[in-house]
Structure 1
């Protein structure tokens, strides 16, 4: 009996060892394998908080969540009405009005933050999140002014976080095809770039309303103003027309140039411009009386940037908005559309030209008959689903982490989006310098405009205009209250 009992005990011990090993083996099988194809374990999902969740922000929430790899942990908006759709779609997400409270309370519960507010709040929100080690997705333009763009670019590298700007065309196939065409020498050496938009489609070149009204009960006006100087609420501002006011928006340039200027920036590998010039459309308030509304972006503008390229001639880069367009290339037939009609890009080279629409869509060699005959090998990574994969491009990199293969495949990290945004905002600096005026001594209601008719020389490394000091006030603005980077 003793021997039998000993054998039984040994058998039980062997059984337990075998069973324990089997169970251990079972539990170390990845949960995505156990869940079947397409299953993503909760621990493998990116935990996201979103600031600004109505309008475009609501679209960003949907786009990020639609990847199937995200849990929406928290939502933040100063406007309860605008936030309603996102809150209903994600009822379990905590809701806040102040992004600072959200980040402080949810810091341990989130991995990443999306920022889809008006332009003047992008930088402070993104910077706070990055300092906490959170990955960030920020709508275009990356920032309201040049200094902010530089600080965000440097912070992305310092804190080793995954970043992406919301210019979805950078994930499209079109811009990659244009890079491959250019690298294959199909248009020779680029000499000029023309880019244009039919925007603004909101009021610009107007006087600030002189009749303040009470803000809507579901809008926290003080939080909406954020970094901007305090002003009483006025009608026809929220939720869209703030774009035309310098305190909050960045005009047609800020709205569209990150989409339209991005393809030639990518194709030509551009950095900081060396100079900027501007001409601005006039506004008339009465018969032969020109209006002067420095708080408002102009109704139209033409910006000329020049980029230094070592060993080559400077590149001349034109931006036009308010319906202004460049002369049609001779290579376009009379009934062929230039760009997409209202927006577009033309790159002129020593041996040819190429053209595309907004977001780099529909790239064409000129004459367009050349396009169908060209076969150039694909040498660049293609984002799955192109521009529709822009959110997943960021989400995948966040999950994989800084320095991963997915990180290297990001379409618009701040290392790229930052210099692009700085160049875009250089155009706005030129516009505001153009409208800078000083009163003539001893002459009532007479002014000089010393920023007109000159070329602003830019020291990119030090973020400074070297030949017109008044322009430097537009490099960096002062924040209201205790907001800071």
Structure 2
């Protein structure tokens, strides 16, 4: 097939990483005090950012970096010209590329950092290549598509000593800090159970792949968009948004909202890696008698239960429930009938031995239950707030990248974002496991809901009791694509 041959030919481009990483390591930023006095803004005090994926969320990401006042958008890269048009217009001096590998190859000496906002399946290869060049990286959530990739990027951040941040901006909000202060003050006792829920997906899931091929838009490089994923003919309405519901590219509702809704439990309770997970999933019926089976697509709804071992801030194991597709937990008895649970469609609930607290999306609007308790809270502020909640997550990364590795505290560096992402992807293992068709002893097909509890060996990154799902821990890339040089 022509597209596969094209990718094979492009494999040689990966060789640039071996030499360019050395060149990048030799580059030295001259500090401001050497070049001028107080108030002088030297080139080294501005971060030159290259954007990979600059339409949609990528467009708003790079705009936020520029808004910080200390970042210049030097390069733009997107496989879809019309999607990138607004960014090209907003940053006319930025040089535009379609292929991020070409941009890295030709321009790596001319930028300091990379923002990655592409579909999930290409995050890891684009991010690790930048890190190997010594570039600071900001990556949209979820950090990666696979558990293996998340572990690799977490290790790479430590190895290459670059400044990293995942794009779960709620991590820089006041909410997680305030809830941690309440928790450490003993207001709800020891937390043993957490619920998080979302009204996502708001894109199609639980459907068959379209049999109607369509013409590739002239301004879209479909082969580059596919990247690491298996080759398939282009179909309408997959790009730019509905890819989220297909396992080859996206990570479903968990990938879209999990990093926003589970960030607070991780930061408040110091959760790390889960030890077991189980799931039940919603089904689609093609008629009144026959259940549809569409393993390429994420299910329309799911309920996942993750078990985390005792942490530095809990007295025992913590059970975390994830619900999507409109499924919600039972309303707390402390919540009055007309009081909003979370923010309606999304939320997080902490259940402790002495009380409960909840928050909305992005860990916003934290409240103790019953709500009347919030009128008498008197807990001293212990954890410094990030300035400017609306833009602070972006500005924080820019400031940290300018200062250099280890100089500034970050809300969601890969050392935190990696384990959080792994937990979400482990939940997806259970979802996919629940959706694997099996046959019983008599040869009859068993449907989702059986053998769905997975036991996890964290060191080996392997499910120990159901080998069928281990294929999803580290997927096989399309020929011509590799993770790292």
Global fold match (TM > 0.5): yes
8 Å CA contact 2:304–2:427 kept in 1: the answer is yes
TM-score (norm 1): 0.90
Q: What is the Cα deviation at residue 454 of structure 1?
A: 4.0
- 1:405-456 CA-partner distances (Å, limit 9, x unpaired): x1xx20000000000000011111100011112356885xx42359724421
8 Å CA contact 2:48–2:72 kept in 1: the answer is yes
Aligned to 2:310, what secondary structure does the other structure show? coil
TM-score (norm 2): 0.90
1:360 aligns with 2:363: yes
1:483 aligns with 2:481: yes
Query: 2:44, 2:404 → 1: CA distance?
Result: 15
Query: 1:345, 1:179 → 2: CA distance?
Result: 14
The match for 2:373 is 370
Structure-to-structure mapping, 1:457-472, within 5 angstroms: 457-472=455-470
Query: 1:441, 1:295 → 2: CA distance?
Result: 26
The match for 2:28 is none
Query: 2:434, 2:315 → 1: CA distance?
Result: 29
RMSD (Å), alpha carbons:
1.6
The match for 1:3 is none
8 Å CA contact 2:147–2:473 kept in 1: the answer is yes
Query: 2:448, 2:226 → 1: CA distance?
Result: 31
The match for 1:30 is 36
Query: 2:34, 2:405 → 1: CA distance?
Result: 26
1:398 aligns with 2:404: no
The match for 2:148 is 147
Structure 1, unmatched stretches of 5+, are 1-26, 35-39
Query: 1:30, 1:257 → 2: CA distance?
Result: 46
The match for 2:98 is 97
1:350 aligns with 2:353: yes
- 1:389-414 CA-partner distances (Å, limit 9, x unpaired): 1100100000000111x1xx200000
8 Å CA contact 1:436–1:451 kept in 2: the answer is no
8 Å CA contact 1:169–1:387 kept in 2: the answer is no
Structure-to-structure mapping, 1:165-176, within 5 angstroms: 165-176=166-177
The match for 1:315 is 318
Query: 1:390, 1:93 → 2: CA distance?
Result: 23
- 1:314-337 CA-partner distances (Å, limit 9, x unpaired): 211000000000000000011100
Aligned to 1:33, what secondary structure does the other structure show? coil
Structure-to-structure mapping, 1:123-202, within 5 angstroms: 123-202=124-203
8 Å CA contact 2:281–2:448 kept in 1: the answer is no
Q: What is the Cα deviation at residue 73 of structure 1?
A: 1.3
User: Per the alignment, do residues 76 and 28 of structure 1 end up closer, same or farther by CA in structure 2, a change over 3 Å counting?
Assistant: closer
Query: 1:110, 1:141 → 2: CA distance?
Result: 24
8 Å CA contact 1:162–1:401 kept in 2: the answer is yes
1:113 aligns with 2:120: no
Aligned residues: 449
Query: 1:32, 1:195 → 2: CA distance?
Result: 48
Aligned to 2:234, what secondary structure does the other structure show? coil
1:273 aligns with 2:271: no
Query: 1:282, 1:394 → 2: CA distance?
Result: 41
8 Å CA contact 2:433–2:452 kept in 1: the answer is no
Query: 1:291, 1:98 → 2: CA distance?
Result: 38
Query: 1:67, 1:145 → 2: CA distance?
Result: 32
- 1:45-99 CA-partner distances (Å, limit 9, x unpaired): 0011000000011011101111111121110000000010111111111111111
8 Å CA contact 1:435–1:452 kept in 2: the answer is no
The match for 2:433 is 433
8 Å CA contact 1:262–1:420 kept in 2: the answer is yes
The match for 1:5 is none
User: Per the alignment, do residues 89 and 454 of structure 1 end up closer, same or farther by CA in structure 2, a change over 3 Å counting?
Assistant: closer
Query: 1:396, 1:433 → 2: CA distance?
Result: 42
- 1:150-170 CA-partner distances (Å, limit 9, x unpaired): 000000000000000000000
The match for 2:77 is 76
Q: What is the Cα deviation at residue 129 of structure 1?
A: 0.2
- 1:104-134 CA-partner distances (Å, limit 9, x unpaired): 1111011100000000010000000001100
- 1:125-148 CA-partner distances (Å, limit 9, x unpaired): 000000110000000000001110
Q: Which has the larger radius of gyration?
A: 1
Structure-to-structure mapping, 1:192-231, within 5 angstroms: 192-231=193-232
8 Å CA contact 1:170–1:387 kept in 2: the answer is no
Q: What is the Cα deviation at residue 382 of structure 1?
A: 0.9
Query: 2:344, 2:300 → 1: CA distance?
Result: 19
Aligned to 2:279, what secondary structure does the other structure show? strand
Query: 2:374, 2:327 → 1: CA distance?
Result: 27
Query: 2:478, 2:237 → 1: CA distance?
Result: 23
Q: What is the Cα deviation at residue 459 of structure 1?
A: 1.1
- 1:332-387 CA-partner distances (Å, limit 9, x unpaired): 01110000000000000000000000011000000011112111111112110124
User: Per the alignment, do residues 393 and 441 of structure 1 end up closer, same or farther by CA in structure 2, a change over 3 Å counting?
Assistant: same
Aligned to 1:289, what secondary structure does the other structure show? coil
